Structure formats: C-alpha cells, structure tokens
Amino acid sequence: MNAEILDKIKEILAVILDVEKQGITAETYIIRSLGAESIDLLEVAVSLNSEFKVNITENDIFLIRLREQITEAEEQGRDTGKYLAKTLPFLPRSRIDEILKDLDGGPVLKVKDIVCYIDRAIK
Amino acid sequence: MNLKFSGTRALILGGSCGLALSLAEHMINAGLFPILTCRSEKSLDKISDRLKNFRGKYSTARLDFSDRATLASLFEQLDHDLDFLVDFVHGNFESLVASAGEDDVYRYFSENISFRAGVIKQAARIMLAKRRGRCIFISSSAAAKPNPGQGFYAAAKVASEVLYKNLGLELGERGITTVTLRPGYIDEGRGHEYLQSHGKEALEKVPTKKALSVKGFAETIMFYLSESAKDFNAVEIAVDGGLTAGK
C-alpha cells in the first residue's frame, strides 16, 4: 500500500471528520467507525480531487453502489466476486472477498479502499 | 449601510443582460471581482463596451447552456477560486402546455434545469473546498403566478429554485448558503418590452404601482450577497412590490 497516499488521506479524513489522525489506520471503517455522512464524503471527494489532481467518481470510490451491484450480479446469475472485480477494478480480489464476508456489519468502506482508488487513478 | 462581503470573486451567469451589467458595476465599486459569462462574441462586446471604465477589474467567460464543453472550460478558467454566484440565465419559452413541441420541451428543460444543475455542482465544489460561498438565483414572479403561456418557463424556474434551495439545505453547515429572488416587473430587457406593450394594465396589479428599477434591484442583490443578509438561506424572496402577495 502506498504509505504517502495513506498518510495524506488520513490527514484529509482527520480534518473533515474532526478526529485524531493517529486514530485512523488503513483498516478503519470510514462510515461505520468514523461516522462519516454523505456531506462529509462529498467534502472528502473535493479534497482528494484537489490534493491528488484526479477525477473522483464518488459512486466508485465510496462503494456507494456496492449493494446494488451485488443484487445485479445475483439477478443476472453471475459470480458476485467476479462481477465486483469488474465494477470496482481498483479493489484487489482479496479485498472484494473480505467485503463480501463483512456485509452484515454495516457499511464496509475502509480507508484502504480509498488508497487503492487514488493509487490506481494516479497511475 | 456599509455592506461587507465575505470574499471577492463573483461569477455572474448571464452577464450581458442589463441587470447583470449594473450588478457588475456595483460589485466593482464594492471591491469585488465579477466574472461575467455570456454565450456569444456579440454579448462579450456588449460587456466590454458597458464596463470600459473598469478594465482589469472584471473578467469574462463563455458559457452556453446548450454546450456542455463550455462548462468544463469555464471552471478551468475559474481555477478553484469562487466566493459568489449570481445566476441570471434563463431561456425564454412561451407556449401553451398543450401545444408545445416535444423536442422543444426536452431541449428547454435540459438547458435550463439539467445544465444549471451541472453549473451549481461545480461551483459548490469550489466553494466547499473554501468552506464558504453565497449563491443568488434570480427567479421570477412567474414561479409563483405564471401567466398562460408561461408554464414551461415557470416550471424551469421552480425546478431551478429547488436546486438552489437544496444546495443551501445540504451545505449550509459548510458555509455555503443560497437565496432565490423572485423579481416582478423590471424595466429592462424582456420586462421593458412587456411594459411597453402592457405597462398600464400590468402595473395596475402591483400594489406599489411601480416596476422595479435596474439600479434598485442590483442594490437588492448586493444586499443579499452581503454579510448583512447571511442568515437568509434556502429561501425564495419576492421582490415584486407586492404583486404576488394578493389575489
């Protein structure tokens, strides 16, 4: 994982969500643990855009359509993991498997998902 | 009253109309830097002619609500710096609801609602990064009381009002606020033409019996942009001499 990107994202989240940067790790849940709301995510997207000079698609970076995409895969009789690997190509397959096991706990978005998105967008 | 402003850079959409030009003069005199948008070279000439004594104190940009490419180019030009937005743009479309051409209706709503949503989104994101911003949408008394033939015009105005209202609702806590002004009869542009032909009968319905003056309405906009009006948010305000208040 790109440590420089991770550090910058932690900084942005700490300022916008008014939390201690030290308390944020790559494994921190952004909505479930830090309590981010939709307006916070909008502000995070604007900051990421300005910091990294990349276009941000909010539906993708914040996994907003994840549950719809899972339903779509099921309705079409497709393998959910493979389907998500296609719709969310910035996430490693191992992370997608982790997400699929974690759905019952609430919103799955973690800091490392954003790092993956930015890392791919920069490249 | 000495008005104070939080910021300097003001985007004026529909910058070549008489009201916008008067507002730009007021802004420059108050130390603000207006950026006036317009659709054509002819309109650019009109702006530079009217503001010839203020060179270097304003800028212009092309924005055509029927051309999405001009939206991207405008916001590149703004370079992530914007404090105010005043939106005068509105295409005219007079037709009875039951007789309008379908293609014309789709095009009209696309230009006057969907495109505007794109402009608002981009402007709001710049303002969000600064955690401050003030937007004024210039609507019309027709949004409250349309005349026959104004159904599409009024529908687009009301839809646009709601976009601005929700922006103020959603981002008010981040310092971005909005106000819609609904002017009545104004002695300028299309209003001037209407008053020429229907003046007596039209003003008879206005309790003050007067049309708004361009200068007076520009001053009203300046007030609503100022810190003195900062607690007005997500609201529509009639500026019509009482036209829409009674039956």
Domain boundaries, chain A: 3-122
Distance CA B192, CA B244 (A): 19
CB neighbour list of residue A57: distance below 8 Å, 6 or more residues apart: none
B2 located within any domain: no
Q: Do B128 and A50 touch (CB under 8 A)?
A: no
The answer to whether residue A85 scores a pLDDT higher than 90 is yes
The answer to whether residue A9 scores a pLDDT higher than 90 is yes
Mean pLDDT of B151-158: 97
Nearest residue on chain A to B127, alpha-carbon basis: A46
Whether the ipTM is more than 0.85: the answer is: no
pLDDT of res. A56: 92
Helix (H) or strand (E) holding B200: helix B189-204
The answer to whether residue B175 scores a pLDDT higher than 80 is yes
Q: How far is CA B21 from CA A110, B10, B36, B127, B193, in A?
A: 49, 13, 8, 24, 18
Percent of chain A with pLDDT over 90: 96
B173 touches chain A (CB under 8 A): yes
pLDDT of res. B44: 94
CATH number of the CATH domain containing B96 = 3.40.50.720
- What counts of helices (H) and strands (E) characterise chain A? 7, 0
Nearest CA to CA, how far is A39 from chain B (Å)? 7
Write out the two tokens for B237. 């305000």
Mean pLDDT of B222-243: 96
B89 located within any domain: yes
> Is domain A3-122 classified as CATH 1.10.1200.10?
yes
DSSP strand E in chain A: where?
Answer: none
Chain B residues whose CB is inside 8 A of the A48 CB are none
Please give the tally of structural domains in chain B.
1
Q: Please answer whether residues A54 and A118 qualify as being in contact, where contact means their C-beta atoms are separated by less than 8 angstroms.
A: yes
Q: How far is CA B10 from CA A116, B34, B41, B84, B177, in A?
A: 37, 5, 21, 4, 14
pLDDT of res. B176: 97
Distance CA B103, CA B117 (A): 20
- Which among B79, B120, B125 is the top mutation candidate for probing chain A, defined by the most A β-carbons within 10 Å of its own β-carbon? B125
Distance CA B154, CA B37 (A): 23
B132 touches chain A (CB under 8 A): no
pLDDT of res. A87: 96
Among the partner-chain residues B80, B170, B174, the one whose CB lies closest to the CB of A50 is B80
Q: Please answer whether residues B210 and B241 qualify as being in contact, where contact means their C-beta atoms are separated by less than 8 angstroms.
A: yes
pLDDT of res. B118: 96
Mean pLDDT of A110-119: 97
B230 touches chain A (CB under 8 A): no
Among the partner-chain residues B128, B170, B173, the one whose CB lies closest to the CB of A46 is B128
B3 located within any domain: no
pLDDT of res. B190: 77
Mean pLDDT of chain B: 94
The boundaries of the domain holding residue B37 are 9-239
B244 located within any domain: no
Nearest partner of A90 among A66, A68, A70, judged by Cα:
A66
